[in-house]
Structure 1
Amino acid sequence: MTRFSMKDPFVLRLYKIRNVKKYDEFLELLEEVLDEAAERIYSSLNKNSVVSTYKALCESAETNIKDIDELKKHIILLQKKLEDDISCRIVDHLDAKGFVSSHDPNNKGHVDILVQNQSKKFKWIGEAKLYDGNRYHQKGLYQLINDYSTGGKFESGGVLIYLNKTQYSVKDVMQSWDTHLKELAKDPKNRLENFTSEFDEHTSSIFYSQHIHHKSGDPYRIRHCCLDIRIDF
């Protein structure tokens, strides 16, 4: 019979995740596991094969599909497939560590990543997109803010940027995104009242923002994260 010991750090963390009582603790544990998931994706050989396949399929489509509108539709489908693949890898890792997580569930719309504790009292909603400039990611941000979130006490969000192309560094991408958000926040119509942001002290690939959620009137926290999945760069 297998015996489990709380002295084992893996067992201890699993216990904490499954029995978390405070939302701050839920977020702390979640972000630790999200960092692990990102590291697994960075170092995974499967990442290379998935991105290589995506790249090859795009090149094939550009060669063989002559109709411009059909080509655009095909590329969008390929992009969605790559986005889904990376998001599913993150969800699988979160599940394995004890969270209740899912990809594309219906939470006032089809969100990319939904993470909850065992009682489903605590919630984190992640909106993920392949990198395509600030205006494109702005759409994802407002899907999160306007469509999927309520701004409730036990809820926060995440914007995940999957960097599969561009010559910009991760730091450049994230600083540009942060600056873009600060510019948006100057206009009250953009629903980013009292916007503040702060970069993670350990990495330039993550920063945290907070603003007053237009629905609840309470502070809403968002974790902005860039995952570099580029190959041959």
Structure 2
Amino acid sequence: MANEFSNPTLSNKEIRRRSFTPNVSSYQEFLDFLYDDIDFVIDRLSRHRDKYSEGMRNNPKQGEDLINSTICDILTGRGWEAEHDTHINGNADIVISIKYEPYEWIGEAKIRSGNKNLDKG
């Protein structure tokens, strides 16, 4: 059976996930790795921008939540701890960290078109 795991550690989700976790030693390194992955996320989302744009037109709140959730899902798949709609001294759209590290990044999502308050919040 060629499709079975030949290495039993590969069937352990925690071991597979650990192999993707960014290994950083400073907050600057944390940001460097994170911003590289955010660039990757933007590239992936832009490939389907028509779908996200349609979602925003149909229901702006749900469309923004969809984009934020998708960003978090992609970053989680790349080894980050990424959560949407988290309460940290208020409501944070996106919170990113690494398990067992003290570093945290908090992002506020803003939809550009038609938003007169883009620089606030």
Superimposed CA distance per residue, residues 110-130 of structure 1 (whole angstroms, 9 cap, x where no aligned partner): 100000111241011100111
Is 1:137 the counterpart of 2:118? The answer is yes
Tell me which residue corresponds to 1:52. Answer: 54
Query: Conserved in 2, the CA contact under 8 Å of 1:100 and 1:117?
Result: yes
Which one has a bigger Cα radius of gyration?
1
Tell me which residue corresponds to 1:107. Answer: 88
Query: 1 CA distance for matches of 2:41 and 2:99?
Result: 20
Query: 2 CA distance for matches of 1:53 and 1:97?
Result: 25
Tell me which residue corresponds to 2:13. Answer: none
Query: Conserved in 1, the CA contact under 8 Å of 2:55 and 2:62?
Result: no
Tell me which residue corresponds to 1:43. Answer: 47
Unaligned runs of 5+ in 1: 5-10, 58-77, 141-233
Moved over 6 A (4+): none
Aligned length: 107
Query: Conserved in 1, the CA contact under 8 Å of 2:56 and 2:64?
Result: no
**Percent of paired sites with the same residue:** 28
Query: Conserved in 1, the CA contact under 8 Å of 2:52 and 2:67?
Result: no
Tell me which residue corresponds to 2:34. Answer: 30
User: Could you tell me how far 1:83 is from its partner in structure 2?
Assistant: 1.2
Look up the equivalent residue of 1:31 and give its one-letter code: Y
Match of 1:89 among 66, 70, 82: 70
* Secondary structure of the structure 2 residue equivalent to 1:138: coil
* Secondary structure of the structure 1 residue equivalent to 2:95: strand
Query: 2 CA distance for matches of 1:127 and 1:14?
Result: 25
Look up the equivalent residue of 2:35 and give its one-letter code: E
* Secondary structure of the structure 1 residue equivalent to 2:87: coil
Question: After the TM superposition, which residues 12-27 of structure 1 pair with which residues of structure 2 at under 5 Å, given as runs?
Answer: 14-15=20-21, 17=22, 19-27=23-31
Unaligned runs of 5+ in 2: 1-5, 11-16
CA RMSD of aligned residues (A): 2.3
TM-score, normalized by length of structure 2? Answer: 0.76
Query: 2 CA distance for matches of 1:116 and 1:126?
Result: 12
TM-score, normalized by length of structure 1? Answer: 0.42
* Secondary structure of the structure 2 residue equivalent to 1:130: coil
Superimposed CA distance per residue, residues 66-95 of structure 1 (whole angstroms, 9 cap, x where no aligned partner): xxxxxxxxxxxx222111111111111110
Query: 1 CA distance for matches of 2:101 and 2:50?
Result: 34
Query: 2 CA distance for matches of 1:81 and 1:96?
Result: 22
